[in-house]
């Protein structure tokens, strides 16, 4: 599999690449859950229509993934919102650096 993961709506199954076993795969799992939560399977024609539409749906899945992980992280470490650290959070979950502004925005809106 060339991709980290893929969600198949009809089967309600998420397949993940074996390579994720070597890394922290929480972000990829949460990303695929984001596609499921947003029901992107209903938008497959839109997803494949243009690069813009694909990027939009991928960004939505990334945002959901960040929100899921932010919820888990804040409950696991039990700290106040003011103590959130974007860099540590991103490093812990191996979140791509091109999503830093999304992470920071989610942290500002958290809680």
Question: What is the token pair recorded at 30?
Answer: 């949460």
> What pLDDT score does 110 carry?
81
- Give the CA dihedral 73, 23, 85, 59, nearest 10 degrees: -90
Domains identified in the chain, total number: 1
pLDDT band at 20 (very low <50, low <70, confident <90, very high): low
pTM: 0.77
54: containing domain:
5-109
pLDDT band at 47 (very low <50, low <70, confident <90, very high): low
> What pLDDT score does 101 carry?
96
Handedness of CA 102, 108, 33, 52 (dihedral sign): negative
- E-state strands within 5-44: 5-8, 13-16
Map tokens 């929100």 to a residue. 67
Q: Is-contact 79 107, C-beta < 8 A?
A: no
């Amino acid at each position: 599999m060339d991709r980290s993961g893929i969600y198949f709506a009809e089967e309600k199954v998420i397949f993940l690449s074996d390579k994720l076993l070597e890394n922290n795969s929480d972000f990829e799992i949460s990303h695929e859950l984001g596609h499921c939560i947003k029901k992107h399977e209903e938008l497959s024609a839109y997803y494949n229509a243009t690069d813009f539409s694909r990027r939009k749906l991928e960004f939505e899945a990334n945002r959901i993934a960040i929100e899921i992980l932010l919820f888990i992280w804040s409950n696991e470490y039990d700290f106040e919102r003011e103590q959130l650290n974007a860099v540590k959070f991103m490093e812990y979950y191996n979140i791509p650096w091109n999503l830093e502004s999304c992470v920071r925005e989610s942290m500002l809106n958290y809680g």
